[in-house]
Amino acid sequence: MSEALDQVVERALTDKAFRTLLFKDLDRALEGYSISDEERALLENLDEENFDQFAGGLGSRTTKGFIPGTG
């Protein structure tokens, strides 16, 4: 998975407005992100129900380098 997709997932987990946009208008949500066609297809197949499960499966990948209380 690309760093861009990691950024999209992390943002969707922390930014409620972006998350809503991701499910309502994927094209607008992905503006400025270098997402491959395969990654885009993956996002198209997610909904709010299975997104959290997908994101949880990424584990520490979306929070790499973050240690609570140090940033």
List the chain domain ranges. Answer: 3-59
Structure tokens at 58: 């990424």
Q: Is 53 or 64 the better-scoring residue by pLDDT?
A: 53
Radius of gyration of the chain (CA): 12
Angstrom distance (rounded) from CA 13 to CA 5: 12
- Take residue 57 and report the two structure tokens written for it: 């499966």
pLDDT for 11 = 95
pLDDT of residue 68: 39
pLDDT in tens, 35-51: 999 999 999 999 888 89
CA distance 3 to 34: 9
Q: Inform me whether the pLDDT recorded for 63 exceeds 70.
A: no
Tell me the whole-structure pTM to 2 decimals. Answer: 0.75
The distance of Cα 16 from the centroid of its chain, to the nearest Å, equals 12
